[in-house]
Amino acid sequence: MDQLPVSGPVAQLIAQFSAFFPKFIGAMTILFVGWLVSRTVGKILSKVLAKVGVDRIAEMLDDIDLVQRSGVLKEKLSAIIAKIVYYMMMLTFIIAATETLGVGAITQLFTDLMNYLPSLLTASVIFMLGLFLADMVQGAVVTLCQSLGIASAKMIGSIVFYFLFVTIAVSALAQAKINTEFISSSLVVLIGAGALAFAFGYGLASKDLVSNYLATYYNKNKVRVGDEVRIMGEKGKVVLIDSTSLILQTPDRAIIVPLSKLTSEKVEVFYPDPQDNDLLEAEV
């Protein structure tokens, strides 16, 4: 019995399938080979990076309080970098596979994503280096404030850290080609208002402390450790002077005197030399 010739829509469908099937096999082959190559390169790169000590950078980042609380570095840095390389290589093979299939829209989509990755990686590096910088500055500020005897040194250090962190985050977003104009303008207003409120509040709270520091500068050569003095009606020997106060030792007790009293009270210094036994009265 003779077979009827295939014609019309059925023939057209068969022809399209016959043309598409080799392309589909080629695309699947590209994806399979790409997966093998990307997986192998990712594993080798992870081991190499671990041996050269890249994971120590992640340990340094994990020492930062913000990173610890966020828990973003649960994996080793070498594994994270290897995964990034794996997905970038896979993206390249996906673009090649879609070109083989002749799907222009999907190819363009993945090509645009591939072109965007360098900006995203650069933004990530800026953000990571910025975190290191913000943490270093925070440590320096805390150390400086503690050396000056400022009680709220950690709070000031945290404010400096988060200010730098936000600034760096906005810069990283801009590098990633994300519009930050609205964020930047809002942050300027918020940071300005916060800085003004902090400066006003902290200035009121620490005016006595500042007056003690100024008194130290202006009266540092007038009263020394070992001098016999009378101040605020109390006579005794100066046994210690620090950045904010002095300790006056009397026969029955020790008195802590703020250094600001050197400028607001009458101070009598007694010379040990008999020929200078009169009083030096200083009302500064």
**DSSP for 114-157?**
HHHHHHHHHHHHHHHHHHHHHHHHHHHHHHHHHHTT-TTHHHHH
Report CA torsion sign: 72, 74, 77, 78.
negative
Please report whether residue 213 resides in a domain.
no
What does DSSP assign to residue 274?
A: G
Question: Residue 196 and residue 188: Cα distance in Å, rounded?
Answer: 12
Determine the pLDDT at residue 36: 92
Please report whether residue 212 resides in a domain.
no
Determine the pLDDT at residue 53: 77
How many domains would you assign to the chain? 2
Please report whether residue 141 resides in a domain.
no
User: Which region among 59-63, 108-112, 116-120, 228-232 has the lowest average model confidence (pLDDT)?
Assistant: 59-63
Is 42:85 a contact under the CB 8 Å cutoff? Answer: yes
Sheet containing 245-249, strands listed edge to edge, beginning at the edge strand earlier in sequence: 254-258, 245-249, 234-241, 228-231, 267-270, 279-282
**Per-residue three-class SS string for 68-123:** HHHCCCCCCHHHHHHHHHHHHHHHHHHHHHHHHHCCHHHHHHHHHHHHHHHHHHHH
Question: Among 55, 87, 102, which residue terminates a domain?
Answer: 102
Record the pTM. Answer: 0.52
Please report whether residue 107 resides in a domain.
no
Q: What is the mean pLDDT of residues 246-261?
A: 83
Looking at residue 251, which CATH number applies to its domain?
Answer: 2.30.30.60
Is 73:61 a contact under the CB 8 Å cutoff? Answer: yes
Q: What is the mean pLDDT of residues 198-208?
A: 64
Please report whether residue 175 resides in a domain.
no
Question: Among 67, 83, 102, which residue terminates a domain?
Answer: 102
pLDDT digits (tens, 9 = 90+) for 38-73: 899 988 888 888 888 777 776 676 666 666 665 555
What does DSSP assign to residue 259?
A: T
Please report whether residue 91 resides in a domain.
yes
Please report whether residue 194 resides in a domain.
no
Q: What is the mean pLDDT of residues 87-114?
A: 82
More confident residue, 216 or 115: 115
Domain limits for position 35: 1-102
Please report whether residue 42 resides in a domain.
yes
Determine the pLDDT at residue 58: 66
Question: Among 56, 84, 102, which residue terminates a domain?
Answer: 102
Question: Residue 123 and residue 126: Cα distance in Å, rounded?
Answer: 5
Q: What is the mean pLDDT of residues 209-220?
A: 62
At residue 7, does pLDDT exceed 70? no
- Tell me the pLDDT of the chain averaged across its residues: 76
Non-local (6+) Cβ contacts of 206 within 8 A are 150
At residue 248, does pLDDT exceed 70? yes
Cβ count near 175 (within 10 Å):
18
Q: What is the mean pLDDT of residues 233-259?
A: 83
At residue 5, does pLDDT exceed 60? no
